[in-house]
Amino acid sequence: MNILRKIRYPSPNPKVNMYIITYMSGSYKVKGLLAEPNDDQVYDGFLYLRGGIKSVGMVRPARIGQFASEGFIVFAPFYRGNRGGEGDEDFAGEDRMDAYSAFDLLKWYPRVARNRVHVFGFSRGGVMALHTAIHRKETVSVVTWGGVSDMELTYWERQDLRRMMKRVIGGTPAKYPERYRDRTPLYFLEELESPVLIIHGEKDQNVSFEHAKRLENRLKILGKSVETWYFPNYTHYFPPAMNRQIVSDLCSWMKNQQVT
């Protein structure tokens, strides 16, 4: 287990303990938030992969606590370069290692049930989640909620992100198609063995519904296990009551997945 430091963090939920974790990702010291029910029981592991970049889309303790209260040991990396961590994010490039190393941390965490680690990705975290499951075959299940599946599509759809993407990726898809292809899990799904649940609002303007359809179609062509929960009237963000219901439902779905 690659935990270097574990410091108690104020929890918004009295039934959940939280800690800031410093861990190794390659040669970098990276940080993340760990949340666990405040008892002595063993639970499935839940790797929460955030969206955004830098301070945009940063991990929220209340959200992590919500999943932990459903009966999981949850770990959410901040990604390199954030909250005092070393290195710099590069939008699902080398920083994917932060997710892989976080998976390994959960896998060997004392309170995580043997061979029971799930991966969840929101928004940009969808790419991170799929790549993690591809590189960690023992992943029990993958959930992508409003998740990116095609990095080139993101570049063309989100004019407001183009400057950032050119900076961190090094150029446009026209100039460096291989860099965008390498970040796009659609091209590597043959290697995925875990069942996938896709959750998406069809009116999403941040990550278009096309991302979900491309992922679903590719998985079906390859004969992979995929389930879809599509919501015609919702955007990237769901109303609080529906959000809570979906969290409960997806957690139940995860727990029902069996290691093959």
Give the pLDDT confidence of 125-148 residue by residue, as tens digits. 999 999 999 999 999 999 999 999
Q: What is the pLDDT of residue 260?
A: 65
Average per-residue pLDDT for the chain: 96
What distance in Å separates the CA atoms of residue 15 and residue 187, rounded to the nearest whole number?
A: 41
Q: Considering the candidates 69, 135, 225, 236, report the single residue annotated as catalytic.
A: 236
pLDDT in tens, 237-257: 999 999 999 999 999 999 999
Query: How far is Cα 93 from Cα 179, in angstroms, rounded to an integer?
Result: 8
Separation between Cα atoms, residue 214 and residue 14, nearest integer Å? 41
The burial of 31, by beta-carbon neighbours within 10 Å (0-12 exposed, 13-18 middle, 19 or more buried), is given as buried
pTM over 0.95: yes
11 a catalytic residue: no
On whether the CB atoms of residues 153 and 210 are closer than 8 A, the answer is yes
Number of C-beta neighbours around residue 11 at 10 A: 19
Reported as a pLDDT band with limits 50, 70 and 90, residue 2 is confident
Q: Write down the catalytic residue from 11, 25, 101, 123.
A: 123
200 among known catalytic residues: no
Where do the domains of the chain lie, and which CATH numbers do they carry?
Answer: 3-256 (3.40.50.1820)
Comparing C-alpha atoms, which of 197, 201, 258, 248 is closest to residue 227?
197
